[in-house]
Structure 1
Amino acid sequence: MISGKNFFHNISGYTDIKIIIAQVKKLEWFEIYDFLEYVCSYINDDDVYNASNLLLKNQNSGFRFVDHILIPISDETDMKNVENAINSNFDNGHIKIATQKLSEKNPDYPKIIGESIDGVEIAIKNVVSNLYDDTPTNKFGGNIKILKKHNFLDGHPAYIEILNKLYGYASDGGIRHPKDRDYKITEADAVFAVEICSAFVSFLKYKVSSL
């Protein structure tokens, strides 16, 4: 496999666009993404990233640039949630770490899920610390109860249960402890975790800003 950087330097001496296009067409599909990611990082301009996302969207690609990282997320709402979560300063950078790991050539999917859910856990603790006099607990469910007590979260039991199970998925479902897991974690699982955890951190940001 040729890296985007190496391919860029290999064609940098060519001036004929037809020759460059012919060389690009020889690449495998994943090498083209790698090349695109390197060129965008080399230019390092927001307009280039935005234009690349428009191109990816028009080509029905399953990848988008989020915070200058090319990851397998194509839904516009999910992209915004990930960007908002990264920029929220609520999760101590865990969502960004998860997206960075998602863009790696050999992603550690359980680690991505763990980082995503850690982001939710930290975000909830930060909201408790910043908004209320209560001291955050070391229990995910305990902090959820504090937010519920202050009417920060919808009190519907099903809604609260979903949040608790989200954390339990990482703690008790074998995500952090591979020996307890008898199933394979896939890219789909990791992308789902990044999306749903980003959505919740983004939700917390919105709730705090609206108070």
Structure 2
Amino acid sequence: MIFSERMGLVDKLPMNTDSLSKAQKNDIFNFFANTFLEKNTPFGEEERHNNYKLNDILTSLFHVNITDIYHDANNNLSLVRRNIDRSEWYITYDFLEYVLENFSQGNYHYELANKMLESTNSGYRFIKKQLVSIVNKIDSKNIKRAVNKKLDDGHLSNALKEVSKRKDPNYKVVIKESIDAAEIVTKKIAIELYNDSNKKTLGQYVKTLESNGFIEGHNAFLKALSALYGYSSDGGIRHPKDDDIYDIDKSDAIFMLEVCSAFVSMLTTKYSELKTAN
């Protein structure tokens, strides 16, 4: 927190998910310009490459008429800025995602972007290169850790991608993918370490891990997870039915994603430790 905020002289920027202030748009644009545009030299390779970047953004993202671009190529950076200024807040986030997806050199730039978003108190962060909301108490670190273990066959990534959709996310898909991730990781560990059957349910695999001392002292958590598994199965979520029992909303989906990510993270950490010890 900066001096003026600590002293109560100015209000800290509110965390927002449906707007961007002029200052926040400035920061996003400055992040792009400082990170992805090298200092130009007349007729140099950097200048030609930067013009390519700017032209690509203007035509592919903002759909600017190409005659406007080549009319005054020296002002294309200003043209990007003007399009950001007159665009809705979510188009600015589209811009940020677009430049990172097309011009970043690995995870480093995503980490820089997250620091910039945090400094402006944005309600979004990049997780697995997807810009997602953090306002609904999603445990982003836990989800990222679980996703990066890559033992869940991509189910958590699918859930994360679905819940972060700006238009018409399917929250039942989020719940299904989340619980499938928990089941597949539990199954893999039970089979690999204890030669278990490949035709059991999540609850049965959990009992295998419990009986072999792999997970201990988590009885309440495991009972809750078993109940969530039953909830996702009997409500027409994992196995669609004509008459669904539950009306699923975003908070339900985020809760399931968070719980299953925590469970997967715990299992994969214990699994990694055990493999390292052996």
Range into which the TM-score falls when normalised by the shorter chain? 0.7 to 0.9
Partner residue of 1:119 out of 169, 178, 181: 181
Kindly provide the CA deviation profile for residues 57-92 of structure 1, in whole angstroms up to 9, marking residues without a partner as x: 122222211111112236999223222222223211
CA distance in 2, matches of 1:127, 1:207: 10
Confirm or deny: 8 A CA contact 1:4 1:37 kept in the other structure. no
Structure 1 residues without counterparts, runs of 5 or longer? none
Confirm or deny: 8 A CA contact 1:119 1:201 kept in the other structure. yes
Partner residue of 2:80 out of 20, 23, 28: 20
Tell whether 2:105 aligns with 1:51: no
Match of 1:197 in 2: 260
Match of 2:245 in 1: 181
User: Highest relative contact order (Cα 8 Å, sep 6+), 1 or 2?
Assistant: 1
Letter in 1 for 2:92: I
CA distance in 2, matches of 1:96, 1:6: 26
- How is 1:59-208 mapped onto 2 (pairs within 5 angstroms)? 59-73=120-134, 78-104=139-165, 105-176=167-238, 177=240, 179-183=243-247, 185-208=248-271
Identity of aligned residues (%): 38
Confirm or deny: 8 A CA contact 1:4 1:34 kept in the other structure. no
CA distance in 2, matches of 1:171, 1:29: 38
Letter in 2 for 1:150: N
Residue 201 of structure 1, CA deviation: 0.9
Confirm or deny: 8 A CA contact 1:7 1:35 kept in the other structure. yes
Confirm or deny: 8 A CA contact 1:61 1:74 kept in the other structure. no
Structure 2 residues without counterparts, runs of 5 or longer? 1-56
Larger Rg: 2
Single out whichever of 57-66 and 16-25 deviates more from structure 2.
16-25
CA distance in 2, matches of 1:84, 1:78: 10
CA distance in 2, matches of 1:74, 1:4: 31
SS in structure 1 of the partner of residue 123 of structure 2: coil
CA distance in 2, matches of 1:4, 1:121: 45
Kindly provide the CA deviation profile for residues 123-144 of structure 1, in whole angstroms up to 9, marking residues without a partner as x: 1001101111332442221111
Single out whichever of 186-195 and 107-116 deviates more from structure 2.
186-195
Match of 2:100 in 1: 40
RMSD value, Cα: 2.8
CA distance in 2, matches of 1:175, 1:83: 24
